[in-house]
Chains A and B, each alone.
Chain A
Amino acid sequence: MSVTVAIRRYNSETGGEPEWVNYTLPERDRMSVLEAFMHIYENVDPTLAFRFGCRFNKCGLCAVEVDGRPRMACFTEVKDGMKIAVLGRMPVIRDLVVDRAAFFTALRELQLYIPEQEDAGHTQIIKEPETHKKLLLCVECLACNSTCPNFEFKKNPFVGPYVFVKLAQLHFDPRNTIDRRRQAKDLGITACTQCRKCYCIHGINLHRDAIQILSA
Chain B
Amino acid sequence: MLVKKTDVLVIGAGGAGIAAAVEAARGGASVIIVSKEPIGYGDTRISLGVMSTSPDPEIGDTEEQFVEDMIRGGEGLNDPALVRALVSDALEATAMFEGFGHIFGRDDEGRLARLIFPPGGHSASRAISSPGVGISMGHTMRAAAARASIDVLEETICSELLVRDGEVVGAVGLQVASGEPIAVLAKSSVIGAGGAGSLYYPHTDCMPSVVGDSYGLALNAGAELGDMEQVQFLPFGITHPPSMLGAPCGEPAMAGPLGKLMNSRGELVLENIMPMTRAQVARIIMEEIRRGGATERGGLLLDLRPNIEADGGELFVGLMKKMGGPFLDIIRRAYGEKAANLQEPWDVLPTVHYVMGGVKTDEWCRSHVPALYACGQAQGGVMGGNRLGSTSLTEIFVFGKRAGKTAALEAAQRNYADAPVAVEAVRRLEALFGAGGSERPVRLKRALQRLMWEKVGPLRDAASLEQAFREIAGIKEHAKDLRISGMKRYNCEALDAIELSHMLASAESIVVSALARTESRGAHVRSDFPERDDAHPIRNMVVRLKDGNCEVRPVEVHA
A residues sitting closer than 8 Å to B (CB atoms) are: 11-13, 28-32, 34-35, 41-42, 46-50, 52-59, 61, 74-75, 93-95, 97, 99-101, 104, 107-108, 111-114, 116-117, 119-128, 132-133, 136-140, 169, 173, 175
Contacts of A42 in B (CB 8 A): 440, 442-443, 446
Chain B nearest CB, measured from A151 CB (Å): 19
**B387 an interface residue at 8 Å Cβ cutoff?**
no
Residue in B96, B132, B491, B493 whose beta carbon sits within 8 Å of that of A137 in the complex? B132
Question: Which of B96, B106, B330 has the largest number of chain A CB atoms within 10 A?
Answer: B106
Chain A nearest CB, measured from B442 CB (Å): 5
B39 nearest in chain A by CB position: A104
Residue in B99, B144, B146, B492 whose beta carbon sits within 8 Å of that of A104 in the complex? B146
Q: Indicate if the CB atoms of A58 and B136 lie closer than 8 Å.
A: no
User: Could you show 22 A-B contacts with beta carbons less than 8 Å apart?
Assistant: A28-B241, A28-B242, A30-B243, A47-B485, A47-B487, A55-B208, A56-B247, A58-B135, A59-B207, A61-B41, A100-B155, A104-B38, A104-B146, A107-B142, A119-B95, A121-B91, A125-B111, A126-B103, A133-B131, A136-B131, A138-B139, A140-B138
Residue in B96, B138, B442 whose beta carbon sits within 8 Å of that of A119 in the complex? B96
Q: Indicate if the CB atoms of B241 and A29 lie closer than 8 Å.
A: yes
Q: Indicate if the CB atoms of A52 and B208 lie closer than 8 Å.
A: yes
**B324 an interface residue at 8 Å Cβ cutoff?**
no
Residue in B112, B131, B244 whose beta carbon sits within 8 Å of that of A56 in the complex? B244
Q: Indicate if the CB atoms of A53 and B37 lie closer than 8 Å.
A: yes
Q: Indicate if the CB atoms of B493 and A122 lie closer than 8 Å.
A: no
A34 nearest in chain B by CB position: B243
B143 nearest in chain A by CB position: A113
Q: Indicate if the CB atoms of B106 and A126 lie closer than 8 Å.
A: yes
Contacts of B414 in A (CB 8 A): none
Q: Indicate if the CB atoms of A136 and B143 lie closer than 8 Å.
A: no
Contacts of A59 in B (CB 8 A): 41, 45-46, 207
A96 nearest in chain B by CB position: B490
Known contacts A52-B208, A119-B96; decide if A104 and B106 are in contact (CB<8 Å). Answer: no
Contacts of B209 in A (CB 8 A): 53
Contacts of A54 in B (CB 8 A): 46, 207
Q: Indicate if the CB atoms of B490 and A169 lie closer than 8 Å.
A: no
20 further A-B contacts with Cβ under 8 Å, apart from A28-B241, A125-B110, A126-B103, are: A13-B488, A29-B242, A30-B241, A49-B490, A53-B37, A53-B41, A54-B46, A56-B247, A58-B135, A97-B490, A104-B152, A113-B147, A114-B101, A121-B92, A123-B91, A123-B94, A126-B110, A138-B135, A138-B139, A173-B101
Residue in B138, B142, B202, B485 whose beta carbon sits within 8 Å of that of A46 in the complex? B485
**B134 an interface residue at 8 Å Cβ cutoff?**
yes
10 nearest CB pairs, A to B: A136-B132, A113-B143, A107-B146, A117-B99, A136-B136, A32-B243, A125-B110, A30-B241, A29-B241, A108-B146
**B4 an interface residue at 8 Å Cβ cutoff?**
no
